[in-house]
Amino acid sequence: LGSRIAGALRSMSAKTVMDEETLDEALKEIARALLEADVNVKQVSLLRRNIKAAVRWSELPPGANKRRIVQKAVFDELCRMLDPGEPPLSPERQRANVVMFVGLQGNGKTTTCVKVAYYYKRRGYRTCLVCADTFRAGAFDQLRQNAAKVRVPFYGSYESTDAVQVARDGVEMFRQQAMEVIVVDTSGRHKQEAALFEEMAQLEAAVQPDHIVFVMDGSMGQAAYDQALAFRQRVRVGSVILTKMDGHARGGGALSAVAATHAPVVFLGTGEHMDELEAFRVESFVGRLLGMGDVQGLVKTITESNLQNPDEEQMQRLSQGVFTLRDMQLMYGNLTRLGPLSQVMSMMPGMAEMIPQGSDRETQARIQRIMVMLDSLTAAELDQTPSIKWDESRKRRIARGSGRSLAEVEEVLAQYRTVSKVWGRMGKNMKNMAHGMPAG
Ligand code: GDP
Ligand code: MG
């Protein structure tokens, strides 16, 4: 998506005459890219209209950087659409916050309940889980086992088929125990949707949740809007969590869910493990959607993984937008340990262009070759201290040392320059991300 939008903007600025038609063409291409990313049809046309209104083409002064203005308008508009202006889930300490989860079966609701309980547990909340899915065989065991894994107290019943009663009993019991976050998992059977929605409404009335979270598979596609709307019409959805964002999700589902529920996205599920939950940040998400990278996200991922004990200095430098060849070497070395390759790469500005799309195995092989080349660099070259001059003889030495051709060495250096340039812009602009956006 990011590269297509970038492409649309590039072809726009390549035009000698920049008239309204040029803008329309670019917007058409951007709209196509958004549709492909599963953004809802209605939202795409709304987006297009709003961008046009925001850009005010005819009033732009002759010297204005039109490509940049359009890009900023796209960024801002996507951010605006993802922010419904409602407060997200944020449990208060020292009182019972009952959080009920709703969503269709298979979307990752039970997994997400446990992830969220674990998330708040790690932040010092007294957290627990209630299984109000009395419909699906095995629901009880699934939640019980996962709750045990993360050591969160759990309530449920093997025998009962009365979800409302079980939920009421569980919530009551945990209230007595002065729990702070009481997560209620519910059934999500399809095929009998009328009965499901009726049950959700009854549960809402019975346990009086402080907050309702709608869970949806992030790769839902164009069906996302209707599904989210169906839940919103029956229960008071307050937040959205998108799951399976580690897979083929293209991001558009987030916009659909927010538009349908008028509720903000709070987390993204990024894997099957209980700690694979990412707090949602609008600017980072849109930046990634548009292929602009997410410097803060990457720095945070590296810090959290605590790989090769990244030092303060490196983190400081990276977050200020200074990216050296040594950073590139470190990152390639750690790439597979940071998480799924595609996910980490999408956080790195310019990286998608550097490592062409392919299977993880092809990507590995390509990274291996680059690593061998980087191993032939001296410390001064890696840190570029003092400022290194990349003359012919230096490049030849590296080619010889790594058994690659001169052209390949030049390619890696060129790619490094691209990444470090984008990185520099990202770093500088990160602070002002909410107001402006990086050039490029
Ligand atoms: P429910 O029916 O809505 O309660 O869904 P479950 O929690 O049982 O999840 C259905 C399947 O999706 C399970 O195999 C989960 O492991 C998987 N799953 C849930 N969340 C994620 C996620 O964020 N990423 C991936 N890859 N799988 C997930
Ligand atoms: Mg379930």
Report how far ligand 1's centroid is from the alpha carbon of 405 (Å). Answer: 46
Angle among Cα 71, 75, 81 to the nearest 5 degrees reads 145
Tell me if 88 is assigned to some domain: no
Confidence of residue 259 (pLDDT cuts 50, 70, 90): very high
Confidence of residue 50 (pLDDT cuts 50, 70, 90): very high
Q: Environment class of residue 422 by beta-carbon count within 10 Å: exposed (0-12), middle (13-18) or buried (19+)?
A: buried
* Mean pLDDT value of segment 338-363: 60
pLDDT of 275 above 90? no
Tell me, yes or no, whether 103 and 56 share the same domain. no
Give 193-249 as a DSSP string. Answer: HHHHHHHHHHHHHHH--SEEEEEEETT-GGGHHHHHHHHHHHS---EEEEE-TTTT-
Last residue in a domain, options 54, 82, 110: 82
Tell me if 438 is assigned to some domain: no
pLDDT, tens digit, 9 for 90 and up, residues 169-193 = 999 999 999 999 999 999 998 667 8
* Mean pLDDT value of segment 210-225: 94
**Ligand 1 atom nearest to CA at 103:** 3
pLDDT of 235 above 80? yes
Select the more confidently predicted residue: 231 or 35: 231
pLDDT at position 436 is: 36
* Mean pLDDT value of segment 4-20: 72
pLDDT at position 435 is: 35
On average, the pLDDT of the chain sits at 84
Tell me if 172 is assigned to some domain: yes
Tell me, yes or no, whether 71 and 182 share the same domain. no
Instruction: Write out the E strands in 54-163.
Output: 97-102, 127-132, 154-155
What residues pair up with 217 in beta bridges, in sequence order? 243
Tell me if 440 is assigned to some domain: no
Tell me, yes or no, whether 211 and 312 share the same domain. no
Tell me, yes or no, whether 398 and 362 share the same domain. yes
Tell me, yes or no, whether 158 and 208 share the same domain. yes
Residues in the chain: 440
Which structural domain, as residue segments, surrounds residue 354? 293-430
Tell me, yes or no, whether 114 and 236 share the same domain. yes
Compute the distance between CA of residue 274 and CA of residue 304 in angstroms, rounded to an integer. Answer: 16
Q: How many domains in the chain?
A: 3
Q: Which of 272, 274, 276, 277 to mutate to test the pocket of ligand 1 (most atoms within 8 A of CB)?
A: 272
* Residue written as token pair 């990152």: 331
- Bridge-based pairing of strands 265-269 and 277-279 is antiparallel
What residues pair up with 100 in beta bridges, in sequence order? 184, 212
Confidence of residue 353 (pLDDT cuts 50, 70, 90): low
Q: What does each C-alpha distance from 280 to 165, 240, 242 come to in angstroms? A: 33, 10, 10
Find, among 252, 297, 247, the residue nearest to 270 by Cα: 247
CATH number of residue 136's parent domain: 3.40.50.300
**Ligand 1 atom nearest to CA at 142:** 8
Q: What is the pTM of this model?
A: 0.72
Last residue in a domain, options 288, 318, 342: 288
Tell me, yes or no, whether 196 and 332 share the same domain. no
Last residue in a domain, options 264, 288, 312: 288
Report how far ligand 1's centroid is from the alpha carbon of 161 (Å). Answer: 23
Tell me, yes or no, whether 142 and 58 share the same domain. no
